[in-house]
Amino acid sequence: MADGLDLGEPPQPVKQDAYRVLARKYRPQTFSELIGQEAMVRTLENAIRRDRIAHAFLMTGVRGVGKTSTARLIAKALNCIGPDGTGGPTIDPCGVCEPCRAIAEGRHIDVIEMDAASHTGVDDVREIIEASRYAAVSARYKIYIVDEVHMLSKNAFNALLKTLEEPPAHVKFLFATTEVNKVPVTVLSRCQRFDLRRISAEQLASHFAFVTDKEGAVAEPEALMLIARAAEGSARDGLSILDQAISHADLEGGGVTTEAVRQMLGLSDRGAVRELFGQILAGDAPSALATLKRQYDYGVDPLSVFRALLEAVHGVTLTKVGTPPDLAQPAEERAARERWAAALSFPVLHRLWQLFLKGHDEIGHAALPIEAAEMALLRAIHASTLPDPGELAKQIASGKVAPIAVPPVAAPSAPAPVDAAAGRRDPASFAELVDLLDAGKFMALAARLRHSARVVRFAPGQLVLSGSRPLSADMLAELVGALRTVTGQGWKVEFEDQDGTPSLREQDDAAEEGRRLAAWNSDMVMAAREHFPETEMEDWPGKRSNA
């Protein structure tokens, strides 16, 4: 109070409206704003014009394609009365009459929305059934919108069946679900079903450009295309990403750039992918690993790199088949794909697809993702330099390439028979000692030593064997006598509690297995295995039995 005057309350700050995210702000308010669903809109338009409106509708599709929005638009279309209050059902609701505005704001008393994820029981459905008997309060139709209807229990579905089949004339049911396979067939048969399609990347990018302009922001076309691809057909997901990108751009003081979106999404740079793909085809392992590591240091997920490589192979294959080029792709991308399509055969492209797909799967389950990515990359580089199996067969037939010669299992050469009277002979190894025993007519003893004896130490006149497989006292005495006979000198044979080296038989088996694996992993066989993935390695011809 000043000089006895009452100045009243001080001025209050103007309360700002709460920010609404783009996905809610740009929710379709008319069927013309519903992008990518022209076939469904045409069907509804014909049904309304001919007064053939079904009593129950089921909208299905992936997240964010407009199922719930379509249900609300149908509710507006059926209850619109026009600006003058005399209109009837229309595919173009006016948006200004009281029913249109109340439905858009979610406050119409005759349009009831229910989330089936939190109202799954038969009691919830019973409430709908009881209320549906009464006429609408102020609208033309009483409409029930049930989101994620597949979450209802079996009993709830059964309770709804009779009312759903023969509802009162003033009632319409609108169901939305992402998992239509979980909805009972008895319910599906009572509904008019609409399958909402994924929205194409081109349509999403165009819509995002419109939203960006309305928001007073600036965005590069390629950045919007990256967001559209990341959305995977979902307008809601794409608008959420765009919302984040615009906020990021404001903080940086610039528009929505391609590089900023790429970093925000953790996507691999397309230029880097083209560079990496070219290095793989050239067999340049050091450069390819360096490119992969550089992308990893930028924060790009190895899975994202291999997904981009899969997209590159797919794009090159489609170009080679002759499909029209994707005009949304940069000119450099289209030129690179045409160049690779001319240079690569279909077998090579199919092999690269399988290699990258296998690498993608391995990285997704690996404890060390970047290491798994590097190994998968090296495997692809090695295979990219091999001819395809058909070409390799032609080269072998023409004599340009010799078929693989598999080395036979070499039999040990038997030393000359030993005459003890001829004097002393010192074996240089345990294997030579066993051969001397075998040649000196101690075959059974030699076979036992070759099969099970593990040597701890060997020197002329001294043999130390592993105690894990000791000889009997009689056989030990026989061995000492036989050694004296074949070498002309006395031997000291003892046992120690150590593992020792593998037996001669185990060493032979390991060498044999090594030769088998060398043949199995040879260039020609690897190429054949890529072409025939079900190929298995049979037992080696003449392989010894374990018996």
Cβ atoms of 212 and 204 closer than 8 Å: no
Question: Cα–Cα distances in Å, from 397 out to 56, 383, 385, 392?
Answer: 68, 22, 20, 9
Task: Check pLDDT > 70 for residue 145.
Answer: yes
Q: Is residue 58 within 8 Å of residue 194, measured between CB atoms?
A: yes
Domains of the chain: 22-195 (3.40.50.300), 201-265 (1.10.8.60), 270-385 (1.20.272.10), 417-539 (3.30.300)
CA dist 389 and 256 (Å) reads 48
Tokens of 63: 């997240």
Calpha distance 472→315 (Å, rounded): 71
Least reliable range by pLDDT among 201-205, 431-435, 462-466, 515-519: 515-519
* Confidence at 421, pLDDT banded by 50, 70, 90: very low
- pLDDT of 545 over the 50 cut: no
Identify the CA nearest to 412 among candidates 433, 442, 393.
Answer: 433
Residue 525 burial (C-beta neighbours within 10 Å; 0-12, 13-18, 19+): middle
pLDDT for residue 141 is more than 70? yes
269-278 pLDDT tens trace? 677 888 899 9
Q: Which pLDDT tens digit goes with each residue over 95-124?
A: 899 999 999 888 999 999 998 988 888 998
pLDDT exceeds cutoff 50 at 411 = no
The strand pair at 142-147 and 171-177 is best described as parallel
pLDDT, mean of residues 62-82: 90
Residue-wise pLDDT tens digits, 433-492: 888 888 877 888 888 888 888 888 888 888 888 877 666 666 777 888 888 888 888 888
Residue 419: pLDDT over 80: no
| Residue 1 reports pLDDT greater than 80 | no
Per-residue model confidence (pLDDT) at position 532: 67
Q: Which residues pair with 494 in a beta bridge?
A: 464
- Tell me if 493 sits within 8 A of 483, measured CB to CB: yes
pLDDT in tens, 205-229: 999 999 999 888 888 888 898 888 8
Task: Phi first, then psi: give them for residue 173, nearest 5 degrees.
Answer: -110, 130
Which string of b and e fits 476-490 if b means at least 16 CB within 10 Å?
Answer: eebbeebbeebbbee
Axis crossing angle, helix 201-214 with helix 221-231, rounded to the nearest 10: 120
pLDDT category at 410 given cuts 50, 70, 90 is very low
Mean pLDDT, the chain, rounded, equals 82
For every residue of 389-407, DSSP letters joined together read HHHHHHHHHHTSSPPP-PP
Nearest to 301 by CA among 219, 370, 215: 370
463 has which bridge partners? 458, 493
